Amino acid sequence: AYGEQTLHRDHFEAHLATGDIHTTYARTGYLGFIRRTEKTQSDGERHDAIFVVGALDETIVLRGMRYHPIDIETSIIRSHRRICECAVFTWTNLLVIVIELDGNENEALDLIPLVTNVVLEQHYLIVGVVVVVDPGVVPINSRGEKQRMHLRDGFLADQVTSGMRSRASFSLPSSSMTITSRLVQVNTALQEDM
């Protein structure tokens, strides 16, 4: 932003819409909030703490609600001890979950209903596609951050299937939006290879 005053102001001299006009903030691309804490400074004054929720460009918007992938991914990882890693993203208004599983194919098939129920119960979201893959498929950059958009691009180009153990697609009939009426199709990569 060196030499560009307007760009400099937009990024480093931003103001909150509901905040003090004399306090400036830097736009980082991360979504967060400020909260007054109970902890006090040495002079006895309470201080504000900033909580960073996640990158704004990685948020998932479904049914008008904003979700952060890390929240959904944490719920999924905690649901089964054999899940090594996972990543979530959207594809045509469907929630796609890619799960790295350190287990056999039977565990992969058993994992799909477990994960869909966890996401439904904890986040009130219906899962569109679950892909169970071998460990090491979810791309992670040098800073240890998941590259969800790179994974999404690979999924759309049908390149994630190289390490795929099983895949399930879920859809809801247009006439009924009940959970019990969803159609489930489960295809395993091993059966397709035989």
Which CATH number fits the domain 59-193, given the four candidates 3.30.300.30, 3.30.830.10, 3.40.50.1820, 3.50.50.60?
3.30.300.30
Please state the domain extents for the chain: 5-56, 59-193
Q: Do 79 and 115 touch, CB atoms closer than 8 A?
A: yes
Averages of pLDDT over runs of 10 residues in the chain (194 residues) are 68 76 81 77 75 84 91 96 94 91 86 94 93 89 90 81 55 35 31 42
**Nearest to 91, CA basis, from 181, 154, 165:** 154
pLDDT at 174: 38
Q: Is the pTM of this model over 0.75?
A: no
Instruction: Give me the half-sphere count of Cα atoms (radius 13 Å) on the Cβ side of residue 92.
Output: 7
pLDDT at 78: 97
